Amino acid sequence: MTTMTPQQVRRHHQGPTAGLADGYAQANLIAVPEDWAYDVLLFTQRNPRPCPVLDVTDKGRTTTVLAGNADLMRDVPRYRIWEHGELVDEPTDASAHWRDDLVAFLIGCSFTFESALKLVDVPLRHVEQGRNVPMYVTDRECRPAGRLHGPMVVSMRYVPADLVDTAKRVTSRMPAVHGAPVHVGDPGALGIADVDRPDFGDRTEPHEGDVPVFWACGVTPQAAVMASKPPFAITHAPGHMFVTDVPDLAYQL
């Protein structure tokens, strides 16, 4: 698809990252004031399917073990700035908003298991169609933690019916990037009214015989920010991930 390195994506890319820097793990970002860090970390522990944590920074630091020379306040393609649960800005550089009291959490992203799916010939419709993956807010509540609560968000990929078991098996061995699907088949079972109207990302086109397969999604902390209204937070924009230097398959058991 691309010849961009992880560092090139971090430095120069401003759009969705699905299919970019092929073979390298991508991550969701949520940064909150220190006072909220325990609630966020406990929320991730209690909801490991949507929120598998790959790294947590020390307060005031914007570096991560996942990419030695990266700067978390500049190297995400697009950010969302939140005040009391309201989206107030969507910059491509967050350095004007970053604060010394922020703790940043990097959370596994399902783009990371896409290279494993490709290796077993599971097609990726959103990548083929040049779109961001579709994401949906479900009616499943996460287990609350302190002041944080909110619904689980899922991503959806259309998978040929005869490859669903393969997709389940391959992704089940990658729990750090959401693991096995949370549901296969009926969007209504997750409270999704219309699969063609995702809450985040783009709709994708199924091929004949495709089945919708839903995985827990790292946008879930953003839904918790909207529901729980911490005074301040910085996240990535959905689909616009932090690209790490860690190979995708490092997260396969």
Q: Which among 23-31, 167-175, 181-189, 197-205 is the span making contact with its own copies, rule CB under 8 A? A: 167-175
Measured between alpha carbons, how far is 49 from 179 in angstroms, rounded to an integer? 7
Q: Which is nearer to its own copies, 149 or 203 (CB)?
A: 149
- With b for 16 or more beta-carbon neighbours within 10 A and e for fewer, the 24-45 pattern comes to bbbbbbbbbbeebbebbbebbe
Backbone φ and ψ for 252, nearest 5 degrees, come out as -95, 125
Binding of its own copies at residue 37 (CB under 8 A)?
Answer: yes
Binding of its own copies at residue 41 (CB under 8 A)?
Answer: yes
Interface characters, 48-67, with its own copies (x: CB under 8 A): -----x--x-----------
Q: Up-side HSE of residue 113: CA atoms within 13 Å toward CB?
A: 27
Q: Which is nearer to its own copies, 44 or 110 (CB)?
A: 44
Measured between alpha carbons, how far is 219 from 216 in angstroms, rounded to an integer? 9
Binding of its own copies at residue 217 (CB under 8 A)?
Answer: no
Binding of its own copies at residue 206 (CB under 8 A)?
Answer: no
Q: Are 160 and 207 in contact (CB under 8 A)?
A: yes
Alpha helices by DSSP H, the chain = 6-12, 34-46, 114-119, 125-128, 164-172, 220-228
Q: Which among 11-19, 39-47, 72-80, 230-238 is the span making contact with its own copies, rule CB under 8 A? A: 39-47
Measured between alpha carbons, how far is 17 from 243 in angstroms, rounded to an integer? 8
Q: Up-side HSE of residue 167: CA atoms within 13 Å toward CB?
A: 27
Binding of its own copies at residue 72 (CB under 8 A)?
Answer: no
Q: Which is nearer to its own copies, 173 or 207 (CB)?
A: 173
Q: How many helices (H) and strands (E) does the chain have?
A: 6, 11
Binding of its own copies at residue 173 (CB under 8 A)?
Answer: yes
Q: Which is nearer to its own copies, 107 or 237 (CB)?
A: 107
# binding residues, its own copies (CB under 8 A): 15
Binding of its own copies at residue 42 (CB under 8 A)?
Answer: yes
Q: Which is nearer to its own copies, 84 or 169 (CB)?
A: 169
Q: Are 182 and 49 in contact (CB under 8 A)?
A: yes
Q: Which among 2-10, 35-43, 70-78, 212-220 is the span making contact with its own copies, rule CB under 8 A? A: 35-43
From the CB of 124, what's the least distance to its own copies, in Å?
Answer: 22
Amino acid identity for residue 222 in this structure = Q
Q: Which is nearer to its own copies, 41 or 219 (CB)?
A: 41
Measured between alpha carbons, how far is 221 from 51 in angstroms, rounded to an integer? 7
Residues that bind its own copies (CB under 8 A): 37-38, 41-42, 44-46, 53, 56, 172-173, 175, 179-180, 253
